[in-house]
């Protein structure tokens, strides 16, 4: 190993403090990273400094700058500044921006298999999703399928378990779902449709007013922290526990040509910074959701579980949806097969470790 490589690798492993130390020890080595200034444009699907997700991207960009000694400058453009929120994928694919931060499930129209990388209803939790992607083969498949669009994805955080949504009326049995208009996207929406719900898609800015005016009867969003910010507890009475997004994954995706032209040092810095961002986001969601839940209880929000008969039918409906999607797309079938192999491997360990401890600790 060359001295330059050694210093850089050591600095990356041990972090920013060591970089400063190395910098004094060996200015020349660090100058290799510092020498060639690279500027990247990163667009997001979130408003400027949007809590947890948007601020996570801000910290990621800052960390890339710090770890590279300033040689890597990532400029973050919130939604609609450079590109509309839901055009970041196309824009990056077409070389108009260098990178984007968004939700994988938004692009299922391009390839239905993408929805699986974003998470599975009644499926893996955030930590388990990340394990599947990193160690179970998920990431290779994701990169292969995104490669067709000239894109290179990294995990860009996760929301942790999401809530089931806000309802104006209590759901006591499956019959209460008939004809209900609910804002719910993705595979969860497909399942709800089979249970009698009329799923609708609404931009974030229109959800609260639609709920207040009764244009919709229910909505899902994320979890206590972000939902409370949207004011949903002021328009509805019941808040249901989750099932459809147990571990949604966000993406930090780069233009593939641009990525391949980056130095290995910059690639390593971006990769480590995205891992740090992912861990931090899960922890921040956990803390802020716990605090917000406390406040929601104080406000008298009624927290409910969906009835058992409904969840049984939801499982059945999900199997049907997955079977139909697998028949329609060989990519979906292949990704689902890989995902299910990990689910099968993970289950016995998860049952005797995490599930067991959650059951007995109180
Ligand atoms: Ca959601």
| More confidently predicted of 53 and 35 | 53
Distance 161 CA to ligand 1 centre (A): 9
Cβ–Cβ under 8 Å, residues 21 and 249: no
Mean pLDDT of 64-71: 97
SS (H, E, C) the chain: CCHHHHHHHHHHHHCHHHHHHHHHHCHHHHHHHHHCCEEEEEEECCCCCCCCHHHHHHHHHHHHHHHCCCCEEEEEECCCCCCCHHHHHHHHHCCCCCEEEEEHHHHCCCCCCHHHHCCCCCCCCHHHHHHHHHHCCHHHHHHHHHHCCCEEEEEEEECCCCCCEEECCCCCCHHHHCCCEEECCHHHHHHHHHCCCEEECCCHHHHHHHHHHCCCCEECCCCHHHHHHHCHHHCCCEEECCCCCCCCEEEEEEEHHHHHHCCHHHHHHHHHHHHHHHHHHHHHHHHHHHHHHHHHHHCCCEEECCCHHHHHHHHHHHHHHHHHHHHHCHHHHHHHHHHHHHHHHHHHHHHHHHHHHHHHCC
Distance 38 CA to ligand 1 centre (A): 35
Confidence of residue 362 (pLDDT cuts 50, 70, 90): confident
Tens-digit pLDDT profile for residues 303-326: 999 999 999 999 999 999 999 999
Q: In this predicted structure, what is the pLDDT of residue 361?
A: 95
Distance 69 CA to ligand 1 centre (A): 37
Confidence of residue 17 (pLDDT cuts 50, 70, 90): very low
Distance 64 CA to ligand 1 centre (A): 28
Distance 325 CA to ligand 1 centre (A): 21
Mean pLDDT of 132-147: 98
Distance 186 CA to ligand 1 centre (A): 9
Distance 128 CA to ligand 1 centre (A): 18
Tens-digit pLDDT profile for residues 190-224: 999 999 999 998 878 899 999 999 999 999 999 99
Tens-digit pLDDT profile for residues 275-300: 999 999 999 999 999 999 999 999 99
31 pLDDT exceeds 80?
no
Write down the pTM of the prediction. 0.89
Q: In this predicted structure, what is the pLDDT of residue 8?
A: 40
Mean pLDDT of 94-116: 95
Across all residues in the chain, what is the average pLDDT? Answer: 91
Distance 192 CA to ligand 1 centre (A): 14
Tens-digit pLDDT profile for residues 144-159: 999 999 999 999 999 9
101 pLDDT exceeds 70?
yes
Looking at the chain, the whole-number percentage of residues with pLDDT higher than 90 is: 87
Q: In this predicted structure, what is the pLDDT of residue 19?
A: 40
Distance 141 CA to ligand 1 centre (A): 24
Domain 3-160+247-286 adopts which CATH fold? D-Maltodextrin-Binding Protein; domain 2 (3.40.190)
Mean pLDDT of 104-110: 92
26 pLDDT exceeds 50?
no
Distance 67 CA to ligand 1 centre (A): 33
Distance 9 CA to ligand 1 centre (A): 38
Closest alpha carbon to 91 in 103, 83, 81 = 83
Q: In this predicted structure, what is the pLDDT of residue 33?
A: 54
Edge-first strand listing for the sheet containing 198-200: 198-200, 181-183, 218-219, 165-167, 238-240, 302-304
Cβ atoms within 10 Å, residue 263: 17
Distance 137 CA to ligand 1 centre (A): 25
Mean pLDDT of 4-25: 39
Distance 319 CA to ligand 1 centre (A): 20
């Amino acid at each position: 190993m060359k001295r330059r490589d050694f210093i850089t690798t050591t600095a990356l492993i041990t972090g920013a403090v060591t970089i400063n130390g190395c910098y004094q020890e060996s200015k020349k080595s660090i100058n290799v990273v510092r020498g060639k200034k690279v500027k990247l444009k990163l667009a997001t699907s979130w408003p400027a400094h949007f809590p947890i997700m948007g601020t996570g991207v801000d910290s990621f960009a800052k960390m890339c700058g710090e770890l590279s000694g300033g040689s890597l400058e990532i400029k973050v453009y919130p939604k609609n500044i450079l590109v509309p929120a839901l055009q970041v994928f196309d824009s990056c694919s077409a070389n108009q921006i260098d990178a984007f931060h968004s939700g994988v499930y938004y692009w299922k129209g391009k390839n239905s298999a993408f929805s699986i990388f974003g998470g599975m209803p009644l499926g893996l939790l955030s930590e388990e999703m990340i394990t599947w992607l990193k160690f179970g083969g998920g990431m290779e498949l994701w990169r292969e399928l995104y490669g067709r669009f000239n894109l290179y994805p990294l995990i860009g955080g996760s929301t942790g378990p999401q809530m089931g949504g806000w309802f104006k009326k209590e759901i006591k049995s499956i019959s209460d779902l008939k004809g209900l208009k609910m804002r719910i996207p993705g595979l969860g929406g497909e399942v709800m449709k089979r249970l009698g719900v009329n799923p609708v898609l609404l931009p974030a800015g229109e959800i609260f007013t639609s709920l207040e005016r009764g244009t919709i009867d229910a909505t899902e969003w994320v979890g206590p922290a972000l939902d409370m910010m949207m004011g949903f507890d002021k328009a509805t009475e019941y808040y249901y526990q989750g099932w459809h997004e147990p571990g949604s994954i966000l993406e930090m995706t780069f233009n593939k040509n641009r990525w391949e032209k980056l130095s290995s040092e910059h690639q390593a810095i971006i990769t480590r910074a995205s891992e740090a961002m992912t861990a931090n986001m899960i922890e921040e969601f956990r803390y802020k959701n716990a605090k917000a839940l406390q406040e929601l209880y104080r406000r008298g929000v009624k927290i409910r579980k969906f009835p058992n008969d409904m969840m049984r039918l939801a499982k059945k409906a999900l199997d049907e949806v997955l079977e139909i999607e697998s028949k329609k797309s060989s990519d979906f079938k292949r990704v689902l097969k890989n995902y299910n192999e990990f689910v099968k491997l993970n289950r016995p360990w998860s049952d005797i470790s995490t599930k067991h401890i959650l059951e007995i600790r109180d």
